[in-house]
Structure 1
């Protein structure tokens, strides 16, 4: 499954929610050296109940809006 996620960094808490058919992720990590992306993968793996290795950012690694590939068996 491919999903688009809007990421807000330096948030007050880590969470994922769905608004209007789009996922929004809030991460406390700063957008430097891939820290926010790592937290995003952990959050999405918990949200979709899959392993971290089953989530991959395929577009927007340095952007606020990311496209992620989620392997759900």
Structure 2
């Protein structure tokens, strides 16, 4: 497994995500090695920002952080997104992978 989906900086972590809207349940599916991205399924439809909001909520819940610490910095209207997670949460990010 490579780490293309995860980039660290001094104050935040960038996570490359493929989102699957309108899924049966909201969950981290796992890492897609051929895309180099973390796949997350959400129940919300891809309309009116509902899937984006649920993505942020799911990631924050799994990491045990506030929703305000998770933001979408690229891909607002795409299934391919880049999330910024504020703070030093590298230990907690392992939970995303283990949550599958």
Length-normalised TM-score, structure 2: 0.68
Please report the RMSD computed on the Cα atoms of aligned residues, expressed in angstroms. 1.3
Q: Confirm or deny that 1:70 pairs with 2:77.
A: no
Question: In the alignment, which residue of structure 1 is the partner of 2:76?
Answer: 61
Runs of 4+ displaced beyond 3 Å? none
Task: Point out the more displaced range, 37-46 or 16-25.
Answer: 16-25
Q: Confirm or deny that 1:18 pairs with 2:30.
A: yes
Which has more radius of gyration? 2
Cα distance in 2 between the residues matched to 1:18 and 1:2: 16
Cα distance in 2 between the residues matched to 1:72 and 1:18: 23
Question: In the alignment, which residue of structure 2 is the partner of 1:8?
Answer: 20
Cα distance in 1 between the residues matched to 2:17 and 2:45: 17
**Which runs of no fewer than 5 residues in structure 2 stay unpaired?**
1-12, 89-100
Q: Confirm or deny that 1:30 pairs with 2:42.
A: no
Question: In the alignment, which residue of structure 2 is the partner of 1:43?
Answer: 58
Displacement of 1:18 in angstroms is 2.8
Displacement of 1:16 in angstroms is 1.4
